Structure 1
Amino acid sequence: SVIGGVAIQGRASLGGNLCNSGPAADSVPAMIVLQGTAEIAGPQGRRSVPIEDFNTGPGTNVLQPGEFVVSLRFPSPAPNSGAAWQRFIPRNEMDTAVTNAASYVRFEGDVVAGARIAIGAVAPTCLLVKEAADALVGKPLTDETIRAAGEAAKAAARPINDMRGTIKQRKHLSAVLVERTLREAARRARGG
């Protein structure tokens, strides 16, 4: 009920959302943090492409003539891990996100052993923000490390001004949504 608008919800697929290659695609940040791969078939055979490498620009991707996505694959969740996704839209009638974000964390005890952070609608493609993950890994998840990850996402964002939002607003929202999704991912990883 939160991904896409009503028309999209009744007709769309994850593969279609990926192949549309829109910078604001709702499902792509989540598929990136979950380490998804696109299985592609075509005249030259089959190949696998990590989802973070699939889209190359607005409306463009790695598919060659005659190729299509036949499936999406995701590894099984690791123990003590969790993920979350959120988007910001100014009103419910709008189905294109101003900004969206997804976070994945895996714990060993109280320490973050693995993390992946992705943001969308703030660059020509959805971004895997390694600097945000680096702010977390090897440390306990605290307000300070969460803020650092949010700031890293804000720094990585390269949005445009358009009718949905300003550069300043989208950069700010990137940090806010990363912080929120990290807290939710951590809650899920801890069994909440």
Structure 2
Amino acid sequence: MKKFDYLRPKSLEEALTLLNQYRERAKLIAGGTDVIVMIKQKQIAPEVLISLQEIQDLKQMKYNGNLRIGSLVTHRMIEKSELIRKEFTALSDAVEVLGSIQIRNVGTIGGNICTAAPSADTVPPLLVLGAQVQLKSLKGERVLPLDQLFLGPGETAIEQGEILTEIFIPKPLPHTGSAYWKHQRRKALDLPILGVAVMLSLDRSNVTCSDLICTSSPISTVLHALEGEEVVCKEVRIALGVAAPTPIRAVKAENLLRGKRLSDELLWEVAEMAAKEAQPRDTIRGEAWYRREMIRVFVKRMAMRCIERVLRPEETIFPERLW
């Protein structure tokens, strides 16, 4: 491994000054779970590593209805947050299946975003939660919607001299549920074959058929009962990981569902449209046709999990027997 200088600035301003000084010769490092691997594999060869670990302001989470997560907040901190588990559940789903506890203890949400891997577990949940990122430089700061950050595999819109400092997630609408599913060969320490995140906001949560949720009733029965009560989807977002060169929103599928009454047939149409919007490729983990089939399956399943989390928020796991 090529030798490099390791710098530990104490403040964001000092880090920005160093980044401006060394420019292309420098690489930022947070938890290091990606950067060190890339250095060892000779994918990158920085002369200087600028560690952000001493900047305590980047390790804070703040909530006032809206959620602000510092870019150095670890996955483990998010996993242990009761607030995130309750209000921003899709993100909690994602960090629980990200790597191992050892990786989650050091890996950061900012690093997971900036690596810009199509397989990044936290990105699809953040997309459906409507996240924005704050970028700071010596010239000032700017806020960018997360879906505008990714340009390609490993490529972002972060400019030379900028540091991602914070992730902003707006307060969910009333009667909102969100969910993420990581489809993988193993239950831990594996990259996803596919990642699917869904966020649904319903027009109400008081329905007489809620007892059907989390019983032995099949999905079609639950949806038929909901259709009879004319439950409407007020807002929806669907995001896919490992389904295109970058994590994507399935916008056409969202438009099919937004403002419509929930039904079994409609959710199948939405899932089918999401599969058509995807641009998967063949890899060692899964072929394109298989990923499309799994999108059809898991978009509907995650929509049902969102519905369950609205109607029966005390339940945390949708019974697999309903699948």
TM-score, scaled to structure 2: 0.57
Structure 1 residue aligned with 2:62:
none
State the alpha-carbon separation in 2 of the partners of residues 15 and 184 from structure 1.
27
Structure 1 residue aligned with 2:153:
58
State the alpha-carbon separation in 2 of the partners of residues 181 and 129 from structure 1.
14
Q: CA deviation at 1:81?
A: 0.9
Structure 2 residue aligned with 1:49:
144
Give the letter for the 1:177 counterpart.
F
Correspondence for 1:154 among 275, 296, 300: 275
Count of matched residue positions in the alignment of Structure 1 and Structure 2: 192
Q: CA deviation at 1:94?
A: 4.4
* Cα offsets for 1:83-125 (capped at 9, x unmatched): 1111100123542100011101111141111111000101010
Q: CA deviation at 1:185?
A: 0.9
Structure 1 residue aligned with 2:287:
166
SS in 2 for 1:79: coil
Q: Is the 8 A contact 2:97 2:188 kept in 1?
A: no
Structure 2 residue aligned with 1:136:
257
Structure 1 residue aligned with 2:307:
186
Q: CA deviation at 1:31?
A: 0.1
Q: Is the 8 A contact 1:104 1:115 kept in 2?
A: yes
* Cα offsets for 1:37-94 (capped at 9, x unmatched): 0011012210011111111110010100111111000111211111111110012354
Structure 1 residue aligned with 2:97:
3
Structure 2 residue aligned with 1:73:
168
From the CA coordinates, give the structure whose radius of gyration is larger.
2
Give the letter for the 1:113 counterpart.
K
Structure 2 residue aligned with 1:92:
187
Structure 2: 5+ residue stretches without partners: 1-94, 205-230, 314-323
Structure 1: 5+ residue stretches without partners: none
State the alpha-carbon separation in 1 of the partners of residues 131 and 119 from structure 2.
18
Q: Identical aligned pairs, as a percentage? A: 29
Q: Is the 8 A contact 1:87 1:177 kept in 2?
A: no
Q: Could you say if the C-alpha distance between residues 93 and 83 of structure 1 is closer, same or farther in structure 2, counting changes exceeding 3 Å?
A: closer
CA root-mean-square deviation: 1.3
Structure 2 residue aligned with 1:37:
132
Give the letter for the 1:20 counterpart.
T
Q: CA deviation at 1:163?
A: 0.7
Q: Is the 8 A contact 1:81 1:190 kept in 2?
A: no
Which protein has greater RCO, CA pairs closer than 8 Å, 6+ apart? Answer: 1
Correspondence for 2:244 among 123, 126, 140: 123
Between stretches 154-163 and 7-16, larger displacement belongs to 7-16
SS in 1 for 2:199: strand
Q: CA deviation at 1:160?
A: 1.1
Structure 1 residue aligned with 2:42:
none
TM-score, scaled to structure 1: 0.95
Q: CA deviation at 1:132?
A: 1.2
SS in 2 for 1:135: helix
SS in 1 for 2:260: coil
* Cα offsets for 1:3-58 (capped at 9, x unmatched): 32114322212211111100011110000000000011012210011111111110
State the alpha-carbon separation in 2 of the partners of residues 30 and 113 from structure 1.
19
State the alpha-carbon separation in 1 of the partners of residues 267 and 189 from structure 2.
29
* Cα offsets for 1:122-180 (capped at 9, x unmatched): 10101111111112112122111111111111001111111100011111111212111
Between stretches 136-145 and 161-170, larger displacement belongs to 136-145
